Structure 1
């Protein structure tokens, strides 16, 4: 008898459908009460159907509806509008309030601010709840804060800004997936009081990790090497330099820097080996399983409980429990059981990139690797071991490739070489890293061991650097839409099913999947082939882009440096499948779709003709806008990010009086001229 039934896959599917329905089709608070009543009714129907001797179709329908409604309900109740005590109901933008905050997590700082996640305990003495992003100015602060510390601050709350350019990374959306719905920007003078708060398990784990990092800083470990060991063992990536991280990404080895299933798997086998003597005792197998599960969860807490590590630890916990109760289990069942469990606990994890990539990689390894392993099987042990690494890497890459292209628009061509070289040594690096962390924590780390580990990590970083500089093997700016992601996964699944069992029906399904993929590809090419003229938002700079099919020209004042790989041009090129890119000097008057566009610079000189459709104000011209509007009779006015904010605010008032459309890109985002 199996540990679980394959029905858990179907349950997971309907749970995901419910979460997606709630995400894209939310309902009001009033209707949510009816949804809860529906859930109770469906659950009652399920209980009644379950007692029947012969199960009918109604039992299956009730079961699947239960999971659908659970997914829908659990997602909705996490939204601020469905939480009566959420802080968002008591605050107004740009109005200062007295906030009592509790630090929950330390984030990677930027150039100007220390960053934290904090819970809002109260506003002006009224109890509240909800998470917030706290930015504390570096210049004004003498010390940083630690988890579980309580702050009393007086400052205005604000929304996390949405992207101002098309297809830019939406930081606000990402924060919402972490249940963060606002931010505070404060300096030391706005922090009225601080004190120690009630300790939490997560807070103690973070403080313990911080103390280990502090002790590691006192050892002979070099900066980059120490950053790698912190990432490998502690899940602490804040000290990894931007250039080093970029090189790991270009080499296809960035998964090594994020504690994930690979690291947890290695730790699981290390712990199994260390506690093997316990199995000789009468009840030793129970102690062994319990100890391994507890230590794995301790490691997950220490590394920050990221979605990928939580997935891995949950999955290995189910494996350990299955072994404990002597139940046969199946890897796919166990994977989906952990998937179902975690999404019931936190449905918002479904929208996190790490969670998606983690589950896809493991699913395709479990599903495809046996097929690949048979193809390359050899009687020679070294060939078998090498092929095992190669097949696992290929299967994982097949699983995550469509989503990787969609999110990051690049593909490391040498990923296979990187993993073949690195993966066999990762266990050594993990074991050595754990030993160094333990000895450093006890302050007895010998210098020779630290220097030896420096040598190993230097070798690893050197190899990563060599792979990363092979630019011809790094494919960038790859256009991959959400439709292509769907079509690609449909094609992969259909072809794999056909190869596993060749039949007429599966051949038809594969041909239909190929047809769907080709149709999606043609439609996507057609969709991105339209023309567009856009005024981008760029602080202190004027950028106007003209897209003509797959050709894209940027008009700018400074023609000396190439900005094709800079923000915001890079993301726009990837999103619209730009093949040919050009940069030109900005011209003052040009025509687009039979409409004349006038670019006014800092001189404030304008022509005498009255056929101007759009005026783009740049570099804060000192112009009498009233007189210019009366003279040129424009249909709309745009001010880009190169203008002073005070000027743009004055121009906006003038246009409002003239009943003339006005857009300030620094406030409203990039403007597309139709």
Structure 2
């Protein structure tokens, strides 16, 4: 691929670099105004058509997009200040905009809250025994306002930063007395959310089993808030979480379904209108389920692709990908730091980079079944190879069974998605066929059992895999060079790939040696549980005062610590709740 033929991709990369630069350097005041002035000068200069400017026009455009990224990211990091209300009980009036995952004690919502004349975005925690909140009402209650805590140590998930990226800086914990009043300022978006809420309630009232209901709500309506932890773990460990989430596959299948129906009804000379109507429908569907990253990216890419087709221009995947990234990031630059955004775009890049070269090693695809099977294998492999570095960096786990699971399950994804969509359509119109419900329930239960079986193959599942930024970059270089080796296996290409592998091994070995030379003593706090840890080399020992929280401590403290500090062996021991101090090597550590 010659980058000179991908000007849009280069400009979007410059735009993203500007966002990243502002995230790390945080330009404000005079420095930011200087960037704005430079961007305006470049914009004015580009309008002149001199020979000199023509030669450096590409450089100026790149600089302009870089500066635009800085300016927009500065704009998107602004937040309201309600610090005077923090850690106080206040009367809060609020509306909700999205439901989040339910916890053991609370139902969680994203919403807009108001205290006095101050309005701010927040996460609203509602006691679990209170009925579901909807989008048609204002709510008022006594509430305790807090700010998310910054984690104790660098290896812990930074929940406060995660919320800030969603423009949320506060958490509101409600009492059980909630007063509601009907809203008089409903927007079309609110009405759409409420209709989706009613469809979800209708699904709950059907006679299908609980797990099937939650699967249906997740695969079509992008609602995974009530899925049990075991099912989510099965999808994660089998590498099929993308199947449960709304992704490009869902959008393409739904587009194809409506296009197939429309071309049967519309005369041949009006065939292009079938494409336009199908595109309109997927945008309406995307609005209905909420504009998630993968949904928005898929809709933009599909729209750009077919606009090229309708204009009789040659479609270009990278142009479509670049435009979709630019539109999403222009709306909110914080989306770049969302893990789903990064994995979604990397998967498409991986398919573009590796799919066709891998297909050459398969027999000729002279019928539909061969095409479906071989493309499923190569597309799954391409996407997994491209996203592997980031998966290891963020989640520190990988299962080789995911390759097999994708090959087995994905070929049937079109049937499952279409069936699920039809089920949702029938339920939304109040049509309840017991026979169809039974068939759907049976099919999904079989599917979930197969996925559970894949997830239980622990021999091929690896966790606590350490990965730092330099290692990620070196693995990306290996994936990049892999294409040339697949296309043409020779000494030159293979030696480049081997050199990249050697560089990765050197970086990894150096990181391991550096980390294993450190000794560390830490006191961790998880909820009301104290954990004392000692690290020596690649071994660590943890003392915990409350073994009832053992599983959660393992998940949120021990495993992240082991991944960060490259621990190969750890022990978990207990000490009494009455212990207030620990003395180690003549140093005293307070546990109170």
The two structures have a TM-score, normalised by structure 2, of 0.91
After superposition, give the CA deviation of every residue in 1:77-124 in whole Å (9 maximum; x if it has no partner): 0112xxxxx53167442345555433211222222222211124x542
**Equivalent-residue separation in structure 2 for 1:404 and 1:94 (angstroms):** 36
Which residue of 360, 363, 386 maps to 2:349? 363
Per the TM alignment, residue 301 of structure 1 is displaced from its structure 2 partner at its CA by 1.7
Q: For residue 239 of structure 1, give the secondary structure of its aligned residue in structure 2.
A: coil
**Equivalent-residue separation in structure 1 for 2:582 and 2:350 (angstroms):** 62
After superposition, give the CA deviation of every residue in 1:215-255 in whole Å (9 maximum; x if it has no partner): 12222211101111111111111121111111111111111
Q: For residue 312 of structure 1, give the secondary structure of its aligned residue in structure 2.
A: helix
**Equivalent-residue separation in structure 2 for 1:233 and 1:556 (angstroms):** 42
Q: For residue 23 of structure 1, give the secondary structure of its aligned residue in structure 2.
A: helix
**Equivalent-residue separation in structure 1 for 2:153 and 2:364 (angstroms):** 53
CA contact (8 A) 1:278 1:288 kept: no
Instruction: Give the aligned partner of residue 672 of structure 1.
Output: none
Instruction: Give the aligned partner of residue 614 of structure 1.
Output: 587
Q: For residue 145 of structure 1, give the secondary structure of its aligned residue in structure 2.
A: coil
Which residue of 113, 136, 147 maps to 2:135? 147
Q: Tell which deviates more after alignment, 168-177 or 242-251.
A: 168-177
Which residue of 270, 279, 282 maps to 1:293? 279
CA contact (8 A) 2:136 2:194 kept: no
**Equivalent-residue separation in structure 1 for 2:210 and 2:397 (angstroms):** 28
Instruction: Give the aligned partner of residue 209 of structure 1.
Output: 196
**Unaligned residue ranges in structure 2 (runs of 5+):** none
Instruction: Give the aligned partner of residue 102 of structure 2.
Output: 109
**Equivalent-residue separation in structure 1 for 2:123 and 2:527 (angstroms):** 23
Which residue of 327, 340, 351 maps to 1:354? 340
After superposition, give the CA deviation of every residue in 1:168-196 in whole Å (9 maximum; x if it has no partner): 2222121122111112222144x566331
**Equivalent-residue separation in structure 2 for 1:518 and 1:368 (angstroms):** 23
CA contact (8 A) 1:377 1:384 kept: no
After superposition, give the CA deviation of every residue in 1:472-525 in whole Å (9 maximum; x if it has no partner): 121122122222111100222133245446789867754653443233212211
Which residue of 455, 477, 484 maps to 2:464? 477
**Equivalent-residue separation in structure 2 for 1:605 and 1:435 (angstroms):** 62
**Equivalent-residue separation in structure 1 for 2:475 and 2:246 (angstroms):** 28
Instruction: Give the aligned partner of residue 158 of structure 1.
Output: 146
**Equivalent-residue separation in structure 2 for 1:41 and 1:89 (angstroms):** 38
Q: For residue 578 of structure 1, give the secondary structure of its aligned residue in structure 2.
A: coil
Instruction: Give the aligned partner of residue 74 of structure 2.
Output: 76
Which residue of 521, 544, 567 maps to 2:508? 521
**Match status 1:571 vs 2:560:** yes
Alignment of 1:361-440 (within 5 A): 361-378=347-364, 381=367, 382-440=369-427
**Equivalent-residue separation in structure 1 for 2:172 and 2:260 (angstroms):** 48
Per the TM alignment, residue 556 of structure 1 is displaced from its structure 2 partner at its CA by 4.1
**Equivalent-residue separation in structure 2 for 1:603 and 1:569 (angstroms):** 21
Cα gap change, 1:69/1:527 in structure 2, threshold over 3 Å: closer, same or farther?
A: same
Alignment of 1:122-137 (within 5 A): 122-125=114-117, 128=119, 130-137=120-127
Q: Which has the higher Rg, Structure 1 or Structure 2? A: 1
**Equivalent-residue separation in structure 2 for 1:558 and 1:203 (angstroms):** 44
- Root-mean-square deviation over aligned CA pairs: 2.9
Per the TM alignment, residue 265 of structure 1 is displaced from its structure 2 partner at its CA by 1.6
Instruction: Give the aligned partner of residue 263 of structure 2.
Output: 276
Instruction: Give the aligned partner of residue 650 of structure 1.
Output: none
**Equivalent-residue separation in structure 1 for 2:6 and 2:74 (angstroms):** 28
Per the TM alignment, residue 527 of structure 1 is displaced from its structure 2 partner at its CA by 2.8
Per the TM alignment, residue 24 of structure 1 is displaced from its structure 2 partner at its CA by 0.8
Q: Tell which deviates more after alignment, 395-404 or 180-189.
A: 180-189
Instruction: Give the aligned partner of residue 297 of structure 2.
Output: 311
Per the TM alignment, residue 605 of structure 1 is displaced from its structure 2 partner at its CA by 10
Instruction: Give the aligned partner of residue 182 of structure 1.
Output: 170
Cα gap change, 1:27/1:399 in structure 2, threshold over 3 Å: closer, same or farther?
A: same
Alignment of 1:486-505 (within 5 A): 486-497=473-484, 499-500=486-487
Alignment of 1:526-545 (within 5 A): 526-529=513-516, 530-545=518-533
Cα gap change, 1:504/1:201 in structure 2, threshold over 3 Å: closer, same or farther?
A: farther
Cα gap change, 1:115/1:192 in structure 2, threshold over 3 Å: closer, same or farther?
A: same
Q: For residue 150 of structure 2, give the secondary structure of its aligned residue in structure 1.
A: coil
Cα gap change, 1:156/1:459 in structure 2, threshold over 3 Å: closer, same or farther?
A: closer
Per the TM alignment, residue 346 of structure 1 is displaced from its structure 2 partner at its CA by 1.6
**Equivalent-residue separation in structure 2 for 1:136 and 1:332 (angstroms):** 44
After superposition, give the CA deviation of every residue in 1:50-69 in whole Å (9 maximum; x if it has no partner): x3467533312210111001
CA contact (8 A) 2:102 2:226 kept: no
**Equivalent-residue separation in structure 1 for 2:70 and 2:295 (angstroms):** 25
**Equivalent-residue separation in structure 2 for 1:181 and 1:262 (angstroms):** 34
**Unaligned residue ranges in structure 1 (runs of 5+):** 81-85, 587-599, 617-637, 644-674
Cα gap change, 1:522/1:184 in structure 2, threshold over 3 Å: closer, same or farther?
A: same
Instruction: Give the aligned partner of residue 55 of structure 2.
Output: 57
**Equivalent-residue separation in structure 2 for 1:116 and 1:601 (angstroms):** 35
**Equivalent-residue separation in structure 2 for 1:97 and 1:606 (angstroms):** 40
**Equivalent-residue separation in structure 2 for 1:325 and 1:605 (angstroms):** 74
**Equivalent-residue separation in structure 1 for 2:526 and 2:39 (angstroms):** 49
Cα gap change, 1:100/1:90 in structure 2, threshold over 3 Å: closer, same or farther?
A: farther
CA contact (8 A) 2:358 2:486 kept: no
Per the TM alignment, residue 335 of structure 1 is displaced from its structure 2 partner at its CA by 1.5
Instruction: Give the aligned partner of residue 553 of structure 1.
Output: 541
Which residue of 317, 323, 327 maps to 1:331? 317
Per the TM alignment, residue 333 of structure 1 is displaced from its structure 2 partner at its CA by 2.0
Instruction: Give the aligned partner of residue 602 of structure 1.
Output: 578
CA contact (8 A) 2:547 2:574 kept: yes
